[in-house]
Structure 1
Amino acid sequence: MTDHSFLKPLPAAPQPDGVDDVTGLVSGTFGIGTFRDGDGSAFPGVVLPGGGVYSLAEEYRDTHAVFEDWARASNLANDVAAHQDRHAHDYRALTILPVLAHPNMLCAGSNYRQHVAEMMTFNKFNQDKRLADESDEQFFARNLREIDRRAREGMPYFWTGLHSSLCGANEDVPLPLVGEHPDWELEFGAIVGKTGRYVRPDEAGDLIAAYVMVNDIGTVDEFRRADVRFMYDWVSKHQPNFKPFGPFAVPKEFVDRNKVQIRLKVNGEIRQDWPISDMIFQPEQILSYASERIRLVPGDLLITGSPPGNGAMWGNAWLKPGDVMESEITYLGRQTNRIVAEETGGRTPTYGPFITEW
């Protein structure tokens, strides 16, 4: 295995007090999500520490309507949380659905300083940039300097995603027939509550309604292809259930981003454990950039990129059927996803893996 001993972890973010065992919410906060009780209809609900869930179905048809009316809906949610005078569902007995059913998805990439420097240092596609006799440690340090230049002089990067890849926080993730290196990427996300064009970064915080977590799973051997000049193709990031989303979104006023830590385990072993302070571009900068290029609308979902700790850095320990991922982000709850083989009814791919040599 490649020697990574010179890579130093960042200090963990200081953690808030009062994290609830049932939900992962911090005391005094609440989440908003989509749930189903038994065989009933899905409903938008407010989740409290301890596991009480209060339906908003009388006021809003779904969470899309909640975020489209965020100013009033957030006041209602605060009132529901304060008075708790509605029927309480038990969080542990509900089916947790994706927070939003069909958001526009903005998927940021190359956005954690350490992660990007590791990819630039160890991925084979970047080895032509290595100087003669340059060690991994020297190459890594030079790549960090390039990333810092990008932070000063460059701009954010995102692609758009497919909401058909979303699943609930505790759903199984089937591994598709195409792609041999399925990998995890637990990410801090933001849900938009307003629209705007040409929004400055110092104004863009006003666009954010709530924060949420998403695991941006992908088959990482399915990113580069040689039969088209562009060479990159991100469609395999959006296989079914490749985006566990939720369990709920937490209004931004409850989240101190200085205390947010991303943690993911596979089969009980820690794989990602990183503070979001290592982002190259903050959510406000990414949304400002986005506002120059697309029409942002309430309910848009921004995910802000993966910290280090992916499968390649663990000796190519890719996901396989039988694995269990346990994920948590400070303030934003927890996910548990079992990895299974996809049931295809005997059908097989026509085109199969990308052509990597042409």
Structure 2
Amino acid sequence: MTSTGLTAPFALARFGEGSEARLGLVAADRIRPLTSADLGAADLNAFLAAPDWTRLQTLAVRDDEEWMPLASVRLTAPVQPRQVLQAGANYREHVIELVAAGLTQNSDRTPDEARAFAAKMMDDRAASGEPYFFIGLPACVVGDDVPLVLPAYSDVHDWELELAIVIGREAFRVSREDALEHVAGYTIVNDITTRDLVFRKDMKEIGTDWYRAKNAPGFLPTGPFLVPAPFVNGGDLTVRLELNGELKQDGSTSDLLFDIAALVSGASQTMPLLPGDLLLTGSPPGNGQHWKRFLRDGDVMTGTIEGLGTQVVRCVAEAGR
């Protein structure tokens, strides 16, 4: 593994060049800009519609003057999605803990009975249920070069480190058997959530309010790399988040209730998934809500997903509030 945390022979990234962001090819600790001629496509999303990874592999091993030290550039979000879909309640162990805790507090079940009940509920859901999706705003997708501004209207902003699927060829009503053919690659996303805005207080019958809870500016730190799907076993990746150096989340995508194929297939049944779109797979245990510790000014979150690199997000309080 290189110092980037990448295990793939190459990956894609976007880096700042003046006021613009430029697409680049990353190999080891170097990056080179990619032109439309290099891609054989007009832009990143056009390339992802029919990714030719062999073409980029040839560039990755070429030794020429185009290469720059990766440390010399400012990386930003590696994708430009037109749609962001998010899967909720999708880590088996995490949901069992949440359900069991609620049952223990609100029924006469013992902790063991509550856990057994919750485990059966999750196994039944995985066997015969459907994934749960909601939508995010693409405008919230930023790189970890942008500090996370904590809105002053709440003190309970939370982290949720997640594996994110990057869609390749357009997917519309695809089967689970064919779904992986529509995955171009994977990246890291930290799905920031304001906990006290999740449920409406003015009318509880309305239920959840994901727009207000999850879509403040910068609430989807993404990247720093887009790793091609052929180099990633998305079904068995370690997901870890540290807050100021202290481990908070430590899970594996092997615990997903609905795997990657099920998520892509399920999400595609309603609306076509477009090249470059993001589909988040859910968050493992260890959120701030569990630890009773939420994000503060000066906090640093370091999120790592096996083989996909490391994301460092710095938190700052909203200025003047």
> Normalising to structure 2: TM-score of the pair?
0.92
Partner of 1:20: 2
Long gaps (5+) in structure 2:
none
Partner of 2:75: 96
Partner of 1:232: 208
1:66-93: CA deviations, max 9, x gaps? 323x333x33212211224351122112
Partner of 1:255: 232
Shift of 1:144: 1.4
Q: Which secondary structure does the structure 2 equivalent of 1:202 belong to? A: coil
Q: Is the 8 A contact 1:102 1:164 kept in 2?
A: no
Shift of 1:259: 4.4
Q: Are 2:191 and 1:216 aligned?
A: yes
Assess, with a 3 A threshold, how the Cα gap between structure 1 residues 244 and 111 changes in structure 2: closer, same or farther.
same
Q: Relative to structure 2, which stretch is displaced further, 263-272 or 59-68?
A: 59-68
Distance in 2 (alpha carbons) for counterparts of 1:211 and 1:174: 25
Q: Are 2:294 and 1:318 aligned?
A: yes
Q: Is the 8 A contact 1:108 1:303 kept in 2?
A: yes
Assess, with a 3 A threshold, how the Cα gap between structure 1 residues 62 and 95 changes in structure 2: closer, same or farther.
farther
Distance in 2 (alpha carbons) for counterparts of 1:41 and 1:168: 13
Q: Which has the higher strand share?
A: 2
Shift of 1:99: 1.3
Q: Is the 8 A contact 1:172 1:337 kept in 2?
A: yes
Q: Which secondary structure does the structure 2 equivalent of 1:42 belong to? A: strand
Partner of 1:296: 273
Q: Which secondary structure does the structure 1 equivalent of 2:178 belong to? A: helix
Distance in 2 (alpha carbons) for counterparts of 1:244 and 1:96: 12
Identity %: 34
Q: Which secondary structure does the structure 1 equivalent of 2:86 belong to? A: strand
Q: Is the 8 A contact 1:54 1:80 kept in 2?
A: no
Distance in 2 (alpha carbons) for counterparts of 1:170 and 1:196: 31
Long gaps (5+) in structure 1:
1-18, 347-358
Shift of 1:278: 0.2
Shift of 1:226: 3.6
Partner of 1:241: 218
Distance in 2 (alpha carbons) for counterparts of 1:336 and 1:263: 12
* CA RMSD after TM alignment: 1.9
Partner of 2:285: 308
Q: Is the 8 A contact 1:267 1:324 kept in 2?
A: yes
Partner of 2:172: 197
Q: Match of 1:138, as an amino acid?
A: E
Q: Is the 8 A contact 1:272 1:309 kept in 2?
A: yes
Shift of 1:41: 3.4
Q: Are 2:61 and 1:85 aligned?
A: no
Q: Are 2:35 and 1:57 aligned?
A: yes
Distance in 2 (alpha carbons) for counterparts of 1:114 and 1:323: 27
Q: 2:249 aligns with which of 256, 272, 282?
A: 272
> Normalising to structure 1: TM-score of the pair?
0.83
Q: Are 2:161 and 1:186 aligned?
A: yes
Q: Match of 1:35, as an amino acid?
A: F
Partner of 1:16: none
Distance in 1 (alpha carbons) for counterparts of 2:277 and 2:145: 22
Shift of 1:55: 1.1
Partner of 1:30: 10
Shift of 1:120: 1.6
Q: Match of 2:293, as an amino acid?
A: A
Q: Match of 1:33, as an amino acid?
A: A
Q: Is the 8 A contact 1:190 1:301 kept in 2?
A: yes
Shift of 1:62: 4.3
Map 1:137-148 onto structure 2 (within 5 A): 137-148=112-123
Q: Which secondary structure does the structure 2 equivalent of 1:83 belong to? A: coil
Query: When the two structures are aligned, how many residues end up with a matched partner?
Result: 316
Partner of 1:6: none
Distance in 2 (alpha carbons) for counterparts of 1:84 and 1:167: 31
Q: Relative to structure 2, which stretch is displaced further, 52-61 or 324-333?
A: 52-61
Q: Match of 2:315, as an amino acid?
A: I
Q: Is the 8 A contact 2:104 2:110 kept in 1?
A: no
Distance in 2 (alpha carbons) for counterparts of 1:117 and 1:216: 20
Q: Is the 8 A contact 2:80 2:276 kept in 1?
A: no
Q: Which secondary structure does the structure 2 equivalent of 1:257 belong to? A: coil
Q: 2:144 aligns with which of 160, 164, 169?
A: 169
Q: Is the 8 A contact 2:235 2:260 kept in 1?
A: no
1:271-297: CA deviations, max 9, x gaps? 011111000001110111112111111
Partner of 1:5: none
Q: Which secondary structure does the structure 2 equivalent of 1:20 belong to? A: coil
Shift of 1:230: 2.0
